[in-house]
Amino acid sequence: MDHKRHVLALYETAQEQNKFDEVIKSIESFNHVFTQELESYLDSPLVSQVQKLSLLKSFNLDPVTNAWLTMLIKSRQAHEFKAFHHALTRHIRALNKEVHVDVFVAKALNESSQKNVQLALTSFFDTKDITLHIHIDENLIGGMKIMHQGLSLDQTILNMLDELQTVI
């Protein structure tokens, strides 16, 4: 599934119609109610398209989002909504030069340490808008693992010990 192509089409349509903020609001609203049960209902071959589209109308989404979700339902791709939502979020963040980074540490970082990590990442990502998502992993002895879009920099003591064991 080419999520990027769908996301770009939705984004461009929203921009052309000056409905970008409304589309984002509708997508986020739908994302909050998009449960496993709703996904199963929208993907079920036992539920008619008329019933699915009637349910979709009940969410009172903007016309652009409604048309896009209708296309997903008619092409039996409703199960891909979460992946599309994720791809759209990444696209918007990239356009706005926003970077969201997962940081794994053994214990909570104080505010000064968080600012130091953000400062170090600022030059690497060429942006000042860096959001850290701190995750406490009690299995780590110390150090830090930073992840962004599937890439990681693992400077944890646990990783260093694993590498040392491999060498020995």
* Mean pLDDT within 41-65: 94
Tell me: the pLDDT tens digits for 141-153?
Answer: 888 999 987 888 8
- Report in angstroms the alpha-carbon separations of 137 from 2, 39, 109, 113: 34, 32, 12, 17
Q: Please tell me the predicted confidence (pLDDT) of residue 129.
A: 84
Domain boundaries, the chain: 3-93, 99-167
pLDDT band at 1 (very low <50, low <70, confident <90, very high): low
Which pair of structure tokens corresponds to residue 33?
Answer: 């109610």
* Mean pLDDT within 95-122: 88
CATH architecture for the domain at 3-93: Orthogonal Bundle (1.10)
**Paired sense of beta strands 151-154 and 144-148, if any:** antiparallel
pLDDT band at 7 (very low <50, low <70, confident <90, very high): confident
